[in-house]
Structure 1
């Protein structure tokens, strides 16, 4: 059985971007990035909204002398990508297809057929998947910063029970929390 996981780097007060859309405060150091790489190795398919896809598409061609960043780029390129967008007509990266709408039943079937884990990125798209009961676990990287407002990592409109599965503190002050969605939620 494969998992559909939602991961986010967020401020301590729960935002993935500030009111101006900036997220430079969430750039991981090598220790955090290396750990995040280990979480991505088994992902066979990434589900993205348009904005998150446009942020992530740099990994298609980025050549980075840093071995941790280069490892992430290789991992990202070998995974399939599904982008939900009403405005994009063609992908700018390989192994990518565009879907005009997010259909929970189509994703449920995709998950049932998958042989590798799936990930969903971007809080707006993730909120739809969480509400539909598709997300199995949530990975949050809490950054040691409070930004006050912006784009929330988790929707205020969704209520589910969670169980703490894993936690890790990093030297930078970032704290990783992995929660499983309680069955029957």
Structure 2
């Protein structure tokens, strides 16, 4: 499979963010369920436990080759079925994520953004989110998400994200 990068840089809430979009021939409530219900979420990225009413859940990835420790994700905004904003800081970095959904004529568009906290992580998180979002598309279209291969995304998409990072990185001071 040849993968074309879709991520782009945008200014969001006075911060630089990476942004991706995916479309689904499904009602917005169905796509919302895929990104918020633990059993549906599990099909493409992992599981979460806890009571969202507490303001956080514990997220465990299941699509990695190695065991990744669970992370606490704080729920900053939840406006079903259109907006979810979650934040986490773990051993792998800071994750400030926003998912926005809109439906038009039976097609739901999911726009996901991640505020860029550390420019050096873009080269791997960019391809990573491309991979996971394509796993979501596969799962929601009735395909096995495991048919989406990580090797099609990294290092193939790395240069696209390195260019975004380079445009954001401060110039190296000369001595």
Both structures adopt the same fold (TM-score exceeding 0.5):
no
Between Structure 1 and Structure 2, which shows a larger proportion of strand residues?
2
TM-score by length of 1: 0.26
Question: Which structure has more RCO (C-alpha within 8 Å, separation ≥ 6)?
Answer: 1
